[in-house]
């Protein structure tokens, strides 16, 4: 009976630890989330949405493959550089599908993503007469303290 209870306890602990690990999103989930946000903010037509989804899906496939490879073998600068090139190419291809007013908003979305800004989160209210401090470019990335998102 003690062995049975010990085995049951051990099985439960292992099952909980496996379930507690964050699940890596699939390329389909990543592309859908990305395209849904773009559709909402850019008011994409159905044709634009399907073309953008294809580009986003191809990029997401490469991202997931790189994450899995890095988990198995470790960090590789060459692979990361390849992914950056693909990301830049994807952005260029998406912009080719968009209208001029959509491109301006897409650039804004890209800047927000690079800066780590989540448009769904509410901003802190500032006191009357105070302005929000904005740091753009690489300086904004350097100013983030370690451990902050």
Digit-coded pLDDT (tens) for 122-135: 555 556 666 666 66
Helices 27-42 and 100-115 sit at what angle, rounded to 10 degrees?
Answer: 130
Please report, for the chain, the start and end positions of each structural domain, with discontinuous segments joined by +.
21-116+136-142
Q: How far apart are CA 149 and CA 71, in angstroms?
A: 21
Please check whether residue 83 is in contact with residue 62, taking contact to mean a CB–CB distance below 8 angstroms: yes
| Mean pLDDT across the chain | 79
CB proximity list for 103: less than 8 A, separation 6 or greater: 95
- Give me 96's structure tokens: 């080719």
Q: What is the mean pLDDT of residues 15-29?
A: 73
Q: How far apart are CA 76 and CA 71, in angstroms?
A: 11
Q: Which residues of 21-31 are buried (b: 16+ CB within 10 A; e: fewer)?
A: eeeeeebeebb
Please check whether residue 98 is in contact with residue 48, taking contact to mean a CB–CB distance below 8 angstroms: yes
Digit-coded pLDDT (tens) for 51-102: 999 999 999 998 888 888 888 887 778 888 888 888 899 999 999 999 999 9
- Give me 115's structure tokens: 């800066």
């Amino acid at each position: 009976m003690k062995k049975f209870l010990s085995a049951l306890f051990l099985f439960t602990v292992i099952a909980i630890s496996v379930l507690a690990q964050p699940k890596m999103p699939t390329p389909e989930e990543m592309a859908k989330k990305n395209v849904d946000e773009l559709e909402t903010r850019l008011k994409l037509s159905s044709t634009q949405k399907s073309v953008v989804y294809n580009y986003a899906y191809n990029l997401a496939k490469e991202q997931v493959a790189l994450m899995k490879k890095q988990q198995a073998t470790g960090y590789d600068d060459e692979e990361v550089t390849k992914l950056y090139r693909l990301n830049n190419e994807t952005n260029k291809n998406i912009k080719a599908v968009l209208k001029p007013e959509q491109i301006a908003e897409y650039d804004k979305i890209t800047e927000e993503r690079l800066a780590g800004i989540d448009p769904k989160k509410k901003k802190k209210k500032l006191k009357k007469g105070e302005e929000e401090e904005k740091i753009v470019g690489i300086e904004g990335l350097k100013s983030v303290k370690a451990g902050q998102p």
